Amino acid sequence: MAFAAGLVAMVARCSKDWEEAGGIAAQALALQARAAPLAHADAEAWEDALSALRRAGTGGGDDGGPRRDHALEQKLERAAIVPLEIAALGADTAALAAVAGERCDGAYRADAAAAAALAAGGARAAAHLVEVNLGVQEGDERLAEARRSERAADEAAERLLAAIR
Amino acid sequence: MSTLDTLTDAELVRRCRAGDPEAWNTLVERFSRYVYAICVKGFRLKEEDAEDVFQDVFTRVYTHLDKLRDDAAVRPWIAQLTRRLCLDAIARGSREQPAPEQDFEESSDDFAEIEEAFAVREAVTTLGDACQEILDRFFARDQSYRTISAELEIPAGTIASRIARCLRKLREKLEAA
């Protein structure tokens, strides 16, 4: 995701005749800055949830019964919230890449499309992680939110790819 | 927002000199984050030391405001006062526990960053409400385009361009300053 946002910034910076390029590059860099800590938080939250799952599987843990289940549920939920934010970031990055692709210097349009496709892929992977980490069914609001981000990112990327084919 | 918030620094200083208590509150509010940023980010003071310096700065501003020769220069005056008091705090601390020299070398870039950040912040306040709102939501509150779209009731597809236009206006203001 950070790479996709960096690509958008590069496309904007290279488009010298585009008046809004500076503002688009600034947004891309802001999205890039949000991505790195999220990746770190995702790994940490998942490691934490995995340890809790292992303890639950072996009957370990400091407390038993409902309290342990609640603690495990909380850890799994945290492991799903970070990818939910990553999915939203993917939607934003793809949307920004689409704007860049429509208005940038033509020589860099393919780079913008690559950024949009990367961001859409990231959003899809993150939405899948939300589903897996929560173990929820369709209809759960968090999963629905992740799916909305995935769809928005996909649509932005598809629109741009269709325009340059 | 109080009507005093729209006053220039010089106008605000004049109101403070005239003894307007509300103007004093506004002055403290306007410069409190600036003073605190210099203490914590520039000089890396501990929280309790930063609070002491903060109190001391505004006490001195209150008692010495008559000595300020150019009302419009209140910001650099407060910055200078804050730096001097931060150095005093460090000197007091170093008598108990010497501070590593490297900290002072590293902090010069931070000062430039603080100055720049506050110049940007001031320029943002001169933009229209719509620009202030959207820039704050995206850059300060890290809101997504979708959230901004839903809360401000503007089409999601136009947000990136709106932000870009606001940033262009902001750049023009900063270049003109």
For A78-133, what is each residue's pLDDT tens digit?
777 888 999 999 999 999 999 999 999 999 999 999 999 999 999 999 999 888 87
Name the minimum distance, in Å, from the CA of A51 to any CA of chain B.
Answer: 31
Is B156's CB within 8 Å of A96's CB?
Answer: no
The minimal CB distance from B146 to the residues A23, A27, A152 is found for: A152
Is B144's CB within 8 Å of A89's CB?
Answer: yes
Residue with tokens 């603080």: B114
Is B166's CB within 8 Å of A23's CB?
Answer: yes
Most B-contacting residue of A8, A13, A19, A27 (CB-CB within 10 A), to test interface: A27
Are A118 and A3 spatial neighbours (Cβ–Cβ below 8 Å)? yes
Please give the tally of structural domains in chain A: 1
pLDDT (0 to 100) of residue A76: 73
State the amino acid at position B72 in one-letter form.
Answer: A
Per-residue model confidence as pLDDT tens for chain B (177 residues): 567 878 888 899 999 999 999 999 999 999 998 899 889 888 889 989 999 999 999 999 999 998 888 888 898 889 889 988 998 888 887 665 555 544 444 456 677 777 777 888 888 888 989 999 999 999 988 999 999 999 999 998 899 999 999 999 999 999 887
B74-to-A4, A164, B117 alpha-carbon distances in Å: 44, 55, 17
User: pLDDT tens for residues B89-105?
Assistant: 888 876 655 555 444 44
Residue with tokens 């741009």: A160
Per CATH, domain B126-177 is 3.40.50: no
Are A97 and A157 spatial neighbours (Cβ–Cβ below 8 Å)? yes
Are A124 and A61 spatial neighbours (Cβ–Cβ below 8 Å)? no
pLDDT (0 to 100) of residue B102: 45
pLDDT (0 to 100) of residue B162: 96
Fold entry, domain B1-111 = Rna Polymerase Sigma Factor; Chain: A (1.10.1740)
Spatial separation of the C-alpha atoms in residues B126 and B6, rounded to whole Å: 9
DSSP string, chain B: --GGGGS-HHHHHHHHHTT-HHHHHHHHHHHHHHHHHIIIIIS---HHHHHHHHHHHHHHHHHHGGG-S-GGGHHHHHHHHHHHHHHHHHHHHHHHSPPPTHHHHHHHHHHHHHHHHHHHHHHHHTS-HHHHHHHIIIIIS---HHHHHHHHT--GGGHHHHHHHHHHHHHHHHHH-
Spatial separation of the C-alpha atoms in residues A112 and A102, rounded to whole Å: 9
Radius of gyration for the alpha carbons in chain B, expressed in angstroms and rounded: 19
Interface of A with B in 26-55 (CB under 8 A): 26-27, 30, 34
* CB atoms closer than 10 angstroms to residue A138: 8
- Decide if pLDDT at A31 tops 90: yes
The minimal CB distance from B164 to the residues A23, A34, A92 is found for: A23
State the amino acid at position A107 in one-letter form.
Answer: A
The minimal CB distance from A91 to the residues B138, B146, B163 is found for: B146
Q: A2 pLDDT band (50/70/90 cuts)?
A: very high
Beta-carbon contacts of B147 under 8 Å, excluding residues fewer than 6 positions away, are B137
What CATH number is associated with residue A36? 1.20.120.680
Identify all chain A residues contacting B165, using CB atoms and an 8 Å cutoff: 20, 23
The number of residues making up chain B comes to 177
Q: A8 pLDDT band (50/70/90 cuts)?
A: very high
B105-to-A127, B8, B53 alpha-carbon distances in Å: 45, 34, 21
What ipTM did this prediction achieve? Answer: 0.81
Spatial separation of the C-alpha atoms in residues A122 and A119, rounded to whole Å: 5
From A6-15, A50-59, B49-58, B153-162, the region with the lowest mean pLDDT: A50-59
In this chain, the answer to whether the domains covering B1-111 and B126-177 adopt an identical fold is no
Are B13 and B65 spatial neighbours (Cβ–Cβ below 8 Å)? yes
Annotated domain spans of chain B:
1-111, 126-177
Pick A138 or A37 by higher pLDDT.
Answer: A37
Structure tokens at A17: 């005749």
Is B168's CB within 8 Å of A30's CB?
Answer: no
Domain of A34 in residue numbering reads as 2-164
pTM exceeds 0.80 = no
Task: Judge whether B31 is closer than 8 Å to chain A, CB to CB.
Answer: no
pLDDT (0 to 100) of residue B106: 46
Identify all chain B residues contacting A153, using CB atoms and an 8 Å cutoff: none
